[in-house]
Amino acid sequence: MRRYYGPRREAERREAGLIVRPSKAIEQTEKGRDSRDCPYLLYVLIIYVVVLYGIWTPWEFWVKPFLDVVIPNKLIGQVVKSGIIKNLVWTVPAVLLIRYFQSDMHIVWREMIHTKVNWLKYLPVFAGFTTYIMIGAVIKNGSLALSEEFGVDKLIVVLFVGLTEEMVFRGWLLNATIREEKKWAYIFLNAVMFLAIHFPVWIHTGTFINNFVGLGFLEILALSVIFSVAFLKSRSIFVPIALHMYWDLLVFLLFNA
């Protein structure tokens, strides 16, 4: 087996004529493999989505309300629900699957964790979120004021919702499915899936119809596209996580959510 020197060194060796033709394994490593090279990945993705939505629907309808009764303390309740249970159901399986199917990911685990980010490039996105939420809060509430209900329990939600949902929808699902030739189709599919995970809580709280009649669902789709593009451009999972956290923080602070 020929020794592999890494992408940059391999390119230099090819230019020097030391390598006539790169091996198939190296071509797959450098370009990324199509899902057909790992046929059971598709089945894993289908099973994962069915299990995730199958678990999260009864969670929103019955388990979560039950825990609210059993654990009356809001802070402890959010630690259990958002900090422990949601990470066990969402984050842990997603990370394990990303690492297991590493060679089939568009962005490998090490890169999405260790890539250095130029955060200045994303300041316009943060500024856009701020402007949009502030204008919406003024229209809805008649003035701009911080929510009196915001506390540590809400802060826990902000921290863990961004982490868990981005690790699943961008770090795992988008990362495992996207292909350059149909990039926007996969981004839109991911946005529809992200929208669908909100259905159980909307139905349970009686806001499902309002979110469609009032076009609130378009906001979820748009956010998903923004998070996906930010992930693909930065090649870092921390960018969509930070954007998601910031959005939720503004909503909790200004909309009495």
Chain segment 125-135, per-residue pLDDT in tens: 999 999 999 99
Number of helices and strands (H, E) in the chain?
A: 16, 0
pTM: 0.85
What pLDDT, on the 0 to 100 scale, is given for residue 8? 53
Cβ burial 80-113 (10 Å sphere, 16+ → b, else e): ebbbebbbebbbebbbebbeebeebbbbbbeebe
pLDDT in tens, 33-68: 444 457 789 999 999 999 999 999 999 999 999 999
What pLDDT, on the 0 to 100 scale, is given for residue 120? 97
What pLDDT, on the 0 to 100 scale, is given for residue 148? 87
Tokens 């630690």, residue located: 79
pLDDT(158) > 90:
yes
Most confident residue range from 23-27, 38-42, 161-165: 161-165
What pLDDT, on the 0 to 100 scale, is given for residue 181? 87
pLDDT(13) > 90:
no
pLDDT band at 12 (very low <50, low <70, confident <90, very high): low
What does the mean pLDDT of the chain come to? 88
Q: Is the dihedral of CA 86, 91, 94, 97 positive or negative?
A: negative
pLDDT in tens, 184-213: 999 999 999 999 999 999 999 999 999 999
From CA 90, how far away is CA 120, in angstroms rounded? 30
What pLDDT, on the 0 to 100 scale, is given for residue 16? 57
What average pLDDT score do residues 5-29 get? 49
What pLDDT, on the 0 to 100 scale, is given for residue 200? 97
Maximum CA extent, the chain: 71
What pLDDT, on the 0 to 100 scale, is given for residue 5? 43
Q: Is 174 exposed, middle or buried (0-12, 13-18, 19+ CB in 10 A)?
A: buried
pLDDT band at 143 (very low <50, low <70, confident <90, very high): confident
pLDDT band at 4 (very low <50, low <70, confident <90, very high): very low
What pLDDT, on the 0 to 100 scale, is given for residue 142? 86
pLDDT(239) > 50:
yes
